[in-house]
């Protein structure tokens, strides 16, 4: 914490934020001048006392991402009721999946899909692919477009705007020209 604080003082924007924070949160005028000294005065006992006062394990939510069958047996010790809730990547309670029918493999699924879209000849007949992606982030909008043309050409455009600025100033614009892959 002390190292990152010292480094942050090199950024004029951070120093300005500190000044704003002193006013906004009614901090003592010397709050940041004494920050490192006050931080160094914190003891392990102080941290333990604060943890005992404010952290309530019975109200905790533990988020774990991974293979349910591998993780679930290890989680019992964290639940007083031994109840563990599972959600899918959309936040829904997952339904029990049925086993795939005998003989169904990733290859048979792909082969069936290729057949459904017209077969290998139709797939090989695709000469152009264009993909557009748009995202709204905390910093603004991002737009990316990639194009591929047979036999070996590739183009990527990306740009964005910073909505936090007054005029939506373009913060990024790049273009990779048609390149042989």
Number of domains in the chain: 2
Q: How large a percentage of the chain has pLDDT more than 90?
A: 32
Q: Which of 58, 80, 100 lies at the terminal end of a domain, its last residue?
A: 58
CA 38 to CA 30: how far, in whole Å? Answer: 11
Residue 38 within a domain: yes
Domain that holds residue 51: 2-58
> Does 87 fall in a domain?
no
b/e map 98-122, b = 16+ CB within 10 Å? eeeeeeeeeeeeeeeeeeeeeeeee
Report pTM: 0.36
131-149 pLDDT tens trace: 999 988 877 788 888 998 8
């Amino acid at each position: 914490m002390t190292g990152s604080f010292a480094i942050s003082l090199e950024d004029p924007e951070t120093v300005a934020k500190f000044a704003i924070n002193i006013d906004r949160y009614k901090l003592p005028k010397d709050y940041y001048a004494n920050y490192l000294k006050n931080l160094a005065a914190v003891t392990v006992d102080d941290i333990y006392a604060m943890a005992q006062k404010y952290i309530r394990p019975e109200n905790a939510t533990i988020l774990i991402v991974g293979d349910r069958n591998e993780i679930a047996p290890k989680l019992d010790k964290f639940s007083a009721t031994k109840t563990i809730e599972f959600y899918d990547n959309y936040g829904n309670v997952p339904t029990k999946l049925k086993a795939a029918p005998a003989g169904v493999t990733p290859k048979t699924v792909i082969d069936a899909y290729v057949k459904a879209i017209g077969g290998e000849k139709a797939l090989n007949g695709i000469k152009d692919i264009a993909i557009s992606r748009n995202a709204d982030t905390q910093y603004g909008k991002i737009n990316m477009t990639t194009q591929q043309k047979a036999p070996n050409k590739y183009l990527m455009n990306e740009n964005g705007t910073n909505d936090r600025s007054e005029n939506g100033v373009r913060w990024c614009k790049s273009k990779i020209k048609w390149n042989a892959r």
